[in-house]
Structure 1
Amino acid sequence: MSSSANNHNSKAFIPLNIAVLTVSDTRDESNDTSGQLLAERVTSSGHKLAAKTIVKDDVYQLRATVSQWIADENIHAVISTGGTGFTLRDNTPEALLPLFDKNVEGFGEIFRAISLDEIGTSTIQSRAFGGIANQTVILCVPGSTNACRTAWDKLIKEQLDASHRPCNFVPHLNINTEQCETRS
């Protein structure tokens, strides 16, 4: 057995504090199925739901909320749902991209590749994206409940799990961990 295979078993799961943001002009707690799904996935995966809120699709309200979360050293990740399309009210990328220290181009690329099997070429209209700001990973996905399910189950869950090899986002967050195996 290779040493990297041995290392896989030696890396423990680290529960993260994750905030969930629903971007919507029409949703509230009674009908926010996407935010509810993400919150349930966060906790059922062993993480802590650090915050959950719904914010109108307004650039400045979005920036204010996410800025507060990335300034909080106890929040390790933010998952945002909604506002990633092309309508006039879809402003999540415009609001949050300026906050990033680093973009995670592969997040949107992989999300769209996975979605291609599910919704065909309509995935091209998704502006899903990710980045890191102040050692907080921010992952933004479309507002549909199915898109959130796909994003969490097939992409986000593994990347927020310190035991996932060879690499995940945990070493880049404001917690004490080792670097990626591919970088050591």
Structure 2
Amino acid sequence: MADLLPRPARRGSAQAGRRPLDARAAPTSVAPLRVRVLVARPRDHVVDVFARRLGTWWPVEGQCAAPERVVDVRLDPWAGGQVAEVWDDGTEHPFATVLRWRPPCEIGLAWRVRPGAELTDVRVGFAEASWVTTWVTVEQTGWAGLGADGPGLRAEYRERWADVLGALLWVV
């Protein structure tokens, strides 16, 4: 059994004072997640559909806690507002808070990737590619704050945001 334990570092060696690495340790940094799509509509229209008509296009399946109960998804268009699922019994279940409301350029959100988890920061940017096309970019950071689950959740959310932006393309 002694062979399985790390040998203590000698004084003055390069390893002195270092702790052994734990494969389950939380990462100290996880790269930001960026997903973007080019929408063939003017920026003001895209922002309006994204923010004010969220419930008409948000992909409930795969995105919401109880998709069979969701009758609406709403985004309050002001800093301090919420992004919430509205269920069939009228209750609201927020999953994000609006931190920055700067249309037509940016919406910033404090986003909870799952109940009880630390918040991540989501920036949805809208940039004119031309007078009739708009880049929509989602950037999500804060993955390291989710501990060992951060990298896996980041990979999961890459797919989720791709689905969300794909749904947006269908309605604009």
TM-score under structure 1 length normalisation: 0.28
Please identify which structure carries the higher strand content.
2
Please identify which structure carries the higher helix content.
1
TM-score under structure 2 length normalisation: 0.29
Instruction: Give the structure with higher Rg (CA).
Output: 2
RCO comparison, higher one (Cα < 8 Å, 6+): 2
